Amino acid sequence: MNPRERLRPTTAADNHRCRARSNLIRWVGPSRRYPFACAVSQRRRDMALEMSYADEAPSTRPITVVLADDHAVVRSGLRMLLDSDPQFEVVAEAGDVESARRYVRGHRPAVLVLDLNMPGESSLEAIPALRKESPETHIVVLTMQEEPAFARRALAAGAIGYVIKEAAEEELVEAVRRAAAGELYLNPRLGARVASEPPPGPPDGLSEREVDVLRLIALGHTNAEIANHLFLSVRTVESHRAHIQRKLDLSSRAELVRYALDRGLVGSETPG
């Protein structure tokens, strides 16, 4: 048989398919060695379409959000605010930190809006664990606190946005949009204060890590809990604690707590 004849369609259906795909055959290039040029070109066309859809998907896919606040009324208001914009999709609501962590692990949202004052585990202290469990989820803190120290601590812990509750209606949408893009958002008024008030250095010769350990000691955490929060070994925490007590000439937990309170390392009230 003539090799050219093997390339000719043998049925009317084959003839129709090959004519319909003539442009694709030209894209693949004429080939006398491969009698299934139509099928090959179709597969390449499908792959190209899939790639083009994949490229377009991020711009059309909604930004998924988990809302975490212990007040149902607040969550409802935040949800209405985000639902009014088609680029957002609220996939879950949480009333405490434990539920927030569970929903983040389950949904892997683009953004978690996290209230700082909720029952159970400290929201601020949970931020590093949340970022470790779901690195693709960016965290926007929602709080009543307008002190630069709280903003610095939240951002240092891994948050990317800091929104004051009283300004949430004007700022939350922009904060979530920026967070989803990996961009920092800080309440403008608070941002000006943060820029104008440089952070205080570690007191009395303590290192930054020792200050972290002292703060957690003052908040009532055990050495094992501190090790877990700071991703250290228990022995390293014990070493830091010994250095702190030696530098400050303090021996009891009560003295360490009073020292931390007096120097503003922890608040007398829980942030929220």
Domain ranges of the chain: 3-59, 62-196, 203-262
What pLDDT band is residue 186 in, cutting at 50, 70 and 90?
A: confident
Residues 6+ apart with CB under 8 A from 110: 63, 64, 65, 136, 137, 138, 179, 180
Is the pTM higher than 0.85?
Answer: no
Q: Which two tokens stand for residue 8?
A: 């000719």
Enter the CATH code of domain 62-196. 3.40.50.2300
208-240 pLDDT per residue, tens? 889 889 989 988 889 999 988 888 899 999 999
Domains 62-196 and 203-262 fall in the same CATH topology: no
Q: What is the pLDDT of residue 264?
A: 73
Distance CA 248, CA 34 (A): 82
Q: Are 130 and 100 in contact (CB under 8 A)?
A: yes
**186-212 burial code (b ≥16 CB/10 A, e <16):** bbeebeeebeeeeeeeebeebeeebbb
**Domain 203-262 CATH (choose: 1.10.10.10, 1.20.950.20, 2.40.128.130, 3.40.50.300):** 1.10.10.10
